[in-house]
Amino acid sequence: MKLLFRLAPAACVLALSAAGHSVSARAQSTQETTSSESPFGASIRLGTLGIGPELEYHNANSHFGARADFDTFNFGIDDVYTAKLNVVDHFLGRTFEQGIHSPLNANYKTMNGSLYGDWYPWKTGFRVTVGLTFNKDTLTGSGVSSSPLSFGRTTYSVSQLGSVHAEAHQGLVNPYVGIGYSTEVLPHVTVSGDLGMLYTGAMHSDVTLSGGVSDLVEQSDLNKVRRDFQHEIHSYQYYPVLMLGAGYHF
């Protein structure tokens, strides 16, 4: 019995030592597994910038990462443009005020390439992002009168009136700031989301006339339409960004 009491402390020391070695081995194995994971990932994203691929570089043990993506989409807009213009009747030499109701067919096309720098303050999935977006976003539209128009003794058919064309486009380089989160839902499979704001600056625009309408509308009225159009799009200098993605981490 005395021998057992003498051997018990030694057995406890050996057991604790073995347990320590086991924990150390598991920790080392986990560390090796974590460090062996590739920092590269690829995903598909969809949102207000469009749809497209994204490439990512982020080491789980680092506060910093980088991403690059390309997004595009295209959609049409159908509306009716209503205005009152001063038109000139060259036969009578008079100017008349004429209401114009024109179906407007517009198309908005985006094509963006972006570079992002990410900061992970707590080394979790949460990130703060700054970046630059390079785009060729354009808004184009054209309209024709929905019916013939009469000015004094002269009636102009729809084909004689011609059409109105409008175009607007953003600056080439736009800064971005936002936040995001990414998490692994299955081995190597991730889902992510980003919320931020893109500063696009003032859009550049122009309005042109073609056909008979170019001879009817006074230049002062055309300049006013151009100013009104520029003023209308001037307020759209900030573009909200919401993007959702699913990807694979190698």
Residue 216: pLDDT band by 50, 70, 90 thresholds?
A: low
Percent of the chain past pLDDT 70, that is, above it, reads 63
Q: Which of 23-27, 98-102, 147-151 has the lowest mean pLDDT?
A: 23-27
Among residues 58, 69, 49, 52, the alpha carbon closest in space to that of 115 is found at 69
Provide the 8-state DSSP code for 125: S
> Any idea which residue has 């004429």 for tokens?
98
The yes-or-no verdict on residue 175 having pLDDT over 70 is: yes
Greater model confidence, 74 or 10 = 74
- State how far the Cα of 30 lies from the Cα of 23, in Å rounded to an integer: 11
The yes-or-no verdict on residue 9 having pLDDT over 60 is: no
Q: Which residues pair with 84 in a beta bridge?
A: 99
The yes-or-no verdict on residue 162 having pLDDT over 50 is: yes
How many degrees, rounded to 5, is the angle at CA 203 between CA 198 and CA 205? 160
Backbone angles phi, psi at 28, to 5 degrees: -65, -40
The yes-or-no verdict on residue 195 having pLDDT over 70 is: yes
Tell which phi-psi region holds residue 201, choosing left (phi > 0), alpha (psi between -120 and 50) or beta.
Answer: left
